[in-house]
Amino acid sequence: MKLSEYVAFDAVGLAELVSRGEISPGELASTALRAVEAVNPAINATVETWEPERDVPPGEPLPGTPSLGGVPFLIKDIGVAMAGKGMELGSRLTQGLVSPADSFLMRRFKQAGLVTLGRTTTPEMAASVTTESVQYGATRNPWRLDRSAGGSSGGSAAAVAAGIVPLAHATDAAGSIRLPASYNGLFGLKPSRGRMSLGPDFDEVFNGLAVQGGLSRSVRDSAALLDCISGAEPGDPYRIAAPERPYSTEVTRAPGTLRIGVLTHAWGGRRTVSTVNDALARTVQLCDELGHQTEEVTFDLGVSWEEFVLANACIWNANLAAQIDALAALLGRPIDSTTLEPWMLACYAYGRRVSGVDLVGALAVRNRVARSLGAFFRSHDLLLTPTVPEPPVPLGTYDEDVEELDGLGWLERLLGRSPFTAPFNVAGTPAMSVPLETDAATGLPLGMQFAAEYGREDTLFRLAGQLEQARPWAGRTPAIWAGDFEG
């Protein structure tokens, strides 16, 4: 298969070729690895790749869901353990760490028939919104190489956007699926808290702020993936109600008339720049044309922005400090500038000072935010915002004077520049970034975020399918695109 042919299919389309016997999983894997060779030197999206295991089972799709059997796949270098493969968390502290067994999520990827070929880059401990690390270097945006690919799932996003794979694993604790989706012109949905298992090593990550999922070039691919990985495992702390129907069937269902609140400027006072504001206005017009009811809204989060950031800093940094202590003890390595980056050392020091009382107070903030958003969704089906209030930023933007920041200052910087996404992690509600717009001046993608009440991924997928039909994005490709290479 030529690369130009390979990139013409999404994951579901490739799986259909496999099921009809038109191509084998091995041939697809070889094509994906050629795509890595073609584009990864420019974008630095993968940590490593490997030849697929022999005799990978084709996967058994759930009733009413399409197969993903034989589809090339990449996992982010954090959050999912694959037996015998590295998981280094983007850090020198954990260089060479190998997973002894599959996590529950990895087991489900394999059961779906996905063929995992490698790991994608992440910032250190996935604690940034740009994928730049001492361990891996900078991951570049395939649309424009001087721009960030976003984070913390920037490697997965850049790999999918550039055509290496149609679908890749991602995680999201403050926007790490949605922000890279916006930066790279992809579809990315953050599921509800508890939608899939984080076990067996974790019950919650970051006290429930983090979830896992994927990034894709089509809505149906993300729906099929969520169908494959949804559901609790023994010992999980949450058992969220299962959807009435597979998400794959929701993509083609009419969403009906939705009540959509529109928030132009984010909590915390950061103003949305004019080019993004114009893109939001066009999205509102599209929703109106599709028969939905939109209205401008303003509402608070139940806490001040300062309280919100402080609570995130307590939760993030306390969890990071505990994780770093455990990893350093396991590997016998020091916790200093030889193993951690300056901002991570600052987060570690801050986290060591967080008391139990501080953490309980942060969880009380989590509750108030969840209650405030829950009240909003009693009168609205969805909330529409820009995913990010500005276009993709230049590489190095987050490095400025980083040595002067403490752990609170680092979170203020991250959340200050990406304020629209984190509230839905705190509340545990689903949200998606849809690649509807571009910046006319630069051609860079601009994602629009839609958020729903807890457990209503079905509503999001219905709208996403409708938006994809009304304003298709499949024909838009970046400057670095595997389909432009022969082989």
User: Which residue in 262, 183, 107, 213 sits closest to 457, CA to CA?
Assistant: 213
User: Which residue in 173, 104, 92 sits closest to 424, CA to CA?
Assistant: 173
Please indicate whether residue 2 is annotated as part of the active site. Answer: no
Dig out the tokens for 6 from the structure.
């390979």
Q: Any long-range contacts for 61-66 (C-beta under 8 Å, 24+ apart)? A: 61/112, 61/224, 61/228, 62/227, 62/228, 62/246, 63/246, 64/245, 64/246, 64/248, 64/249, 65/224, 65/227, 65/228, 65/246, 65/247, 65/248, 65/249, 66/12, 66/15, 66/16, 66/220, 66/224, 66/248
Beta-carbon neighbour count of residue 356 at 10 Å?
Answer: 8
Q: What single-letter DSSP state applies at residue 397?
A: G
Q: Please give the sequence-ordered ranges of beta strands (E in DSSP) within 77-143, or none if there are none.
A: 115-120, 132-133, 137-138, 140-141
Dig out the tokens for 19 from the structure.
């099921």
Task: Tell me the C-alpha distance between 225 and 156, whole Å.
Answer: 15
Task: Tell me the C-alpha distance between 268 and 246, whole Å.
Answer: 37
Task: Tell me the C-alpha distance between 335 and 342, whole Å.
Answer: 11
Q: Where are the alpha helices (DSSP H) in 251-355?
A: 274-289, 305-331, 342-353
Please indicate whether residue 85 is annotated as part of the active site. Answer: no
Residue recorded with tokens 């950031």: 309
Identify the active-site residue in 152, 216, 218, 230: 152
Task: Tell me the C-alpha distance between 119 and 47, whole Å.
Answer: 5
Beta-carbon neighbour count of residue 451 at 10 Å?
Answer: 27
Dig out the tokens for 257 from the structure.
């008339």
User: Which residue in 337, 315, 333, 316 sits closest to 325, CA to CA?
Assistant: 333
Task: Tell me the C-alpha distance between 93 and 114, whole Å.
Answer: 30
Dig out the tokens for 240 from the structure.
């969220």
Dig out the tokens for 139 from the structure.
């991951």
Task: Tell me the C-alpha distance between 167 and 228, whole Å.
Answer: 13
Q: Would you say 123 and 133 are in contact if contact means Cβ atoms under 8 Å apart? A: yes
Please indicate whether residue 152 is annotated as part of the active site. Answer: yes
**In residues, how long is the chain?**
487
Identify the active-site residue in 67, 91, 176, 216: 176
Identify the active-site residue in 76, 85, 110, 190: 76
Give the CA angle between residues 448, 452, 453 to the nearest 5°. Answer: 160
Catalytic residues: 76, 152, 176
